[in-house]
Structure 1
Amino acid sequence: MSAQLKKKASYEATFAHNFWKQTFSRVPAIPDPIELTGKTVLVTGANVGLGLEAIRNFLRLRPSLVIMGVRSVEKGEAAATKLRREFLDARIEVWELDMESFRSVQAFAARADRELDRLHVAVLNAGLGKLNFERVEEGSRHEVTIQVNYLANALLSFLLLPKLRPTTSSSEPGRLSIVNSGASLAIRLEDPGDGRLLESFDRPEKFDGFAQYGLSKLLVMMFVAKLAQMINPKEVIVNCTDPGATKGTDFFRNVNSWFMSIALRAFMGLIGRRTADASRIYLHSTLVLGEESHGSWTDWIIRAWPKAMYTDKGHQMGERLWDETIEELKFAGVKEYLQKDS
């Protein structure tokens, strides 16, 4: 449905609109009689901040199993112990998942394949704001952290599809939602010419932390829009969810400048939502909104895509990104997961 909201895209990308939405609108409650009895829920990046609070919101709906995907099992177990005291009958499992490692993503998905009969809801929440150019040890040819994080989310999305599909024709579709950000709404894509799009981000001399973060989220939305074209919403509904600016999280914990850190925290304190409210948006995207949200940008309603996606150039870049993503992830056989849906 976001594809039909081109006329709203320019306004929704403005600071005025986002300031109004942050300060004067309230995240609605989850309507009755939504509940999760007998269902399995996964949230990545789940031991702190929005991810942890989302787990708490999901637990209130009594799922049969909640999986916390975390980089540090020790920290994840500490968070889970507190949740188990709060929700005495809850079944909570902590699984290791490092979104800067393709091997870790594959191992996580293999465990899901072995141990789960069905996965009903998956929220890919893991993400971090980094203002400095960094590399990680793996990531095919693309070693910039922010690229690997995008590709890791794409890889995990593909690998979870078999478990998200319904087991019978009468079962509800699985729900896959990747967390996004309004930082992408006004971003422009630079055409790399004859070069590869993903490789064009590997330029330390042109690195801008804020712009790169917004760009990475634009890539995610382009990926989700294309993925939605490839899978049947009767089987898996896929969208992006945007919690908006949120205070009280560790999102900017890697910001090195004390001045920038203070400024960001002050700004978040001014307009940011509480984590309990912002994380409830994840439930709206995965439990309240239906097939109409397939391939869309969402919070508690369906919003317009980033402006760039409505242009001919944006469409071409989206197709280019998809082809490069499939090529980069061919080591995991991702085409096979798409063929099962086609």
Structure 2
Amino acid sequence: MKLSLLDSVIDQWSALPPVETADLSGKTVLVVGANVGIGLEASKHFARMRPARLILACRSEAKGKAALTEIEQETDHSGCELWILDLANFASVTAFADKFEKEGGDLHILVMNAAIALPGGVYQPTTDGWETMLQVNCLATSLLSLLLIPQLVAAGRKSSTPSRMVIVSSDVHYWVTPTKEVRTSSKPLEILGSKEWCIPEHMRFRYSESKLLNLFFARALTDRLQSITPLSAVAVTPGFCYSQLRRVWYEQPTFSFAKIRLAIQERFLAWTAEQGSRQLVFAAVGGRDNEEKMKGGFVKHGRLVEVADFVLSDEGRKMQDNVWNETIDILNSVSDKIAPIVQDYLVVPD
């Protein structure tokens, strides 16, 4: 599928379906990146469905507490909890997963929403040595998702419906094709994460690349989950929304045409954060009448749509497998729990 600029504008001006609802009583929902924007609004929708536990995973304790208060006041739901998580620090991710293993119990819905978008040309490494967007949006997102598979599968086995892992991707994946050097490499992440590669010419595509990698992860994981495993990994685009995702752009002290262009685009095209959050909610609780198609699917406008032609191509599938294999190799060095999870819950795809 191709998505032109005109198609994108028409999409943004199209009416959205109402938020999907479900009975979440007795269930546990975890939303990563829940203190602002679409993550906060999605959490409010989940709270109205009365889950037994709604866990908000946030980097900032102060902002997390403010979100917790706002959700409880607007929804009158008292089953909310704040857990601290910093995706820019692998140690924080593994500590979070260890805590969930001890205190979280079964997990029915995981929404991996946290992400960062830095202005083009900005190279910022994390304390772990990875470029920040690559680690936060991709590697740490994949790490936590994999570490929580045992809790997701356990919940699915006890429930009448498979658990859901929601990976927030984006429409921007339609407009990015990695360079030949990256897409043909057996270690594309090593190239993308190297300081030598992270020059302005390449970094202006980094956010879009990270959303493509998110989609690769959901599809590659689906390929490796046995059909009988009660877990569905679903990718979703929230559309172009007002959110805190682009706050770093506006915080730049210097004048730039990019900030003006972004402000104009938001004024005429952007949905509200609540409207965007409906897509996350549908990916988490919708489409239960056709669960098999939801597995590895891409949700947009409250329905499944076809992904970009590159993703479906032979070259795209090969890059997807290379990214998966390299991701597992990298994460094995981060946590000794990754290899057993891969061995116990996943299979070699056909």
TM-score normalised per structure 1: 0.90
Name the CA distance, whole Å, in 2 between partners of 1:64 and 1:261: 42
Counterpart of 2:315?
313
User: Is the 8 Å Cα contact of residues 123 and 199 (structure 2) preserved in structure 1?
Assistant: no
Query: How many residues end up aligned between the 2 structures?
Result: 327
Counterpart of 1:226?
220
- Residue 285 of structure 1 aligns with an amino acid whose one-letter code is A
Counterparts in 2 of 1:63-82, with a 5 A limit?
A: 63-82=51-70
User: Is the 8 Å Cα contact of residues 186 and 308 (structure 1) preserved in structure 2?
Assistant: no
Counterpart of 1:24?
14
Name the CA distance, whole Å, in 2 between partners of 1:99 and 1:262: 30
Shift of 1:232: 3.5
1:168-208 residue CA offsets vs partner (Å, 9 max, x unmatched):
45542111011111111121122325673112223133544
Q: 2:190 aligns with which of 183, 195, 199?
A: 199
Counterpart of 1:340?
344
Query: Does 2:173 match 1:178?
Result: no
Counterpart of 1:216?
210
1:228-249 residue CA offsets vs partner (Å, 9 max, x unmatched):
11113541100111100002x1
Distance 1:309 1:159, change over 3 A: same
Name the CA distance, whole Å, in 2 between partners of 1:194 and 1:78: 44
Name the CA distance, whole Å, in 2 between partners of 1:209 and 1:169: 44
- Residue 274 of structure 1 aligns with an amino acid whose one-letter code is T
Shift of 1:321: 0.8
Query: Does 2:90 match 1:102?
Result: yes
Q: 2:99 aligns with which of 111, 125, 139?
A: 111
User: Is the 8 Å Cα contact of residues 117 and 133 (structure 2) preserved in structure 1?
Assistant: no
Structure 1 range deviating more: 251-260 or 210-219: 251-260
Counterpart of 2:299?
298
Counterpart of 1:289?
287
Counterpart of 1:144?
131
Structure 1 range deviating more: 60-69 or 198-207: 198-207
1:136-163 residue CA offsets vs partner (Å, 9 max, x unmatched):
3333xx5211221210011011001011
Q: SS state of the match for residue 95, structure 1?
A: strand
Counterpart of 1:120?
108
Name the CA distance, whole Å, in 2 between partners of 1:164 and 1:118: 6
Shift of 1:30: 1.7
TM-score normalised per structure 2: 0.88
1:233-286 residue CA offsets vs partner (Å, 9 max, x unmatched):
541100111100002x11111112543234212211211111111101111111
1:272-304 residue CA offsets vs partner (Å, 9 max, x unmatched):
111111101111111012421111211211111
Name the CA distance, whole Å, in 1 between partners of 2:185 and 2:67: 48
Name the CA distance, whole Å, in 1 between partners of 2:327 and 2:221: 11
Distance 1:23 1:194, change over 3 A: closer
Q: 1:52 aligns with which of 23, 37, 40?
A: 40
- Residue 240 of structure 1 aligns with an amino acid whose one-letter code is A
Name the CA distance, whole Å, in 2 between partners of 1:183 and 1:18: 10
5+ residue gaps in structure 1? 1-8
User: Is the 8 Å Cα contact of residues 189 and 308 (structure 1) preserved in structure 2?
Assistant: no
Name the CA distance, whole Å, in 2 between partners of 1:37 and 1:207: 49
User: Is the 8 Å Cα contact of residues 175 and 236 (structure 1) preserved in structure 2?
Assistant: yes
Q: 1:237 aligns with which of 223, 229, 232?
A: 232
Structure 1 range deviating more: 151-160 or 302-311: 302-311
User: Is the 8 Å Cα contact of residues 252 and 261 (structure 1) preserved in structure 2?
Assistant: no
User: Is the 8 Å Cα contact of residues 224 and 295 (structure 1) preserved in structure 2?
Assistant: yes
Structure 1 range deviating more: 257-266 or 326-335: 257-266
- Residue 103 of structure 2 aligns with an amino acid whose one-letter code is E
- Residue 14 of structure 1 aligns with an amino acid whose one-letter code is S
1:9-59 residue CA offsets vs partner (Å, 9 max, x unmatched):
12xx2112221111023133325xx22111111111111111111111111
Shift of 1:88: 2.9
Name the CA distance, whole Å, in 2 between partners of 1:125 and 1:194: 28
Distance 1:83 1:282, change over 3 A: same
Q: SS state of the match for residue 42, structure 2?
A: helix
1:213-242 residue CA offsets vs partner (Å, 9 max, x unmatched):
111111111111110111135411001111
Name the CA distance, whole Å, in 1 between partners of 2:48 and 2:158: 28
